[in-house]
């Protein structure tokens, strides 16, 4: 690892940035959920703003699409991994978006599946990217992280993410009825 690519200390984010923690219960075994997250290239399928993740050896290259059409990229490493319990990552030094996060898995009470807890921390950079990150994660951080977890739950329980795409809205039907009368 080059000097520029040294990992960031995840504790550095806690007092400078934005931290979000959300949990959800998913009716699937821990092993299935852990396996999905262990392959980081699966994440763009459940998080709209994550456009791609390319894994190369011990590091991964992430591309995000932020509000306002702003794209940002950064490199991360998994620094703590306990099979079927936790995966924790952090950005590498020199990344334009400093971040760290973890996903934890534990049995849900009453044998009702698995509790998944996602924690994400960001230090927004200056400029347009920083403003987009603040808009994405600063104003409504729990909504974005929560939506990602809900879509993960749908994908793991139903095999797909529910969508209203292609479905007419009440307004569209009303306009069509007015046009025919």
CATH for 117: 3.30.530.20
100 pLDDT band, cuts 50/70/90, is very high
- Report, as an integer, the average pLDDT of 104-129: 85
22 pLDDT band, cuts 50/70/90, is very high
Task: Tell me the pLDDT tens digit for each residue of 54-71.
Answer: 999 889 999 988 766 778
- Report, as an integer, the average pLDDT of 62-85: 88
Any idea which of 6-15, 23-32, 131-140, 156-165 has the lowest mean pLDDT?
A: 6-15
Q: DSSP 3-state assignment of 9? A: coil
| Beta-strand runs (E) in 112-168 | 114-123
> Is residue 4 pLDDT above 50, yes or no?
no
134 pLDDT band, cuts 50/70/90, is low
Range of the domain at 34: 3-180
Cβ neighbour number for residue 66 with a 10 Å cutoff: 20
Structural domain total, the chain: 1
Contact 75, 61 (CB under 8 A): yes
> Is residue 28 pLDDT above 80, yes or no?
yes
- d(Cα 31, Cα 175) in Å, to the nearest integer? 49
């Amino acid at each position: 690892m080059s000097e520029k690519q040294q990992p960031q200390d995840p504790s550095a984010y806690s007092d400078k940035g934005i931290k979000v923690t959300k949990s959800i219960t998913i009716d699937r075994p821990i092993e299935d959920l852990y396996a999905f997250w262990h392959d980081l290239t699966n994440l763009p399928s459940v998080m709209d703003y994550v456009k791609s993740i390319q894994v190369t050896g011990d590091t991964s290259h992430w591309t995000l699409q932020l509000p306002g059409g702003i794209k940002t990229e950064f490199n991360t490493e998994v620094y703590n991994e306990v099979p079927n319990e936790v995966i924790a990552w952090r950005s590498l030094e020199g990344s334009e978006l400093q971040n760290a996060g973890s996903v934890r898995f534990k049995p849900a009470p009453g044998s009702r599946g698995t509790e998944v807890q996602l924690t994400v921390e960001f230090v927004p950079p200056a400029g347009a990217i920083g403003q987009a990150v603040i808009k994405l994660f600063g104003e409504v951080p729990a909504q974005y992280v929560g939506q990602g977890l809900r879509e993960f739950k749908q994908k793991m329980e139903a095999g797909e993410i529910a969508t209203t795409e292609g479905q007419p809205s009440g307004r569209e039907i009303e306009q069509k009825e007015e046009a025919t009368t």
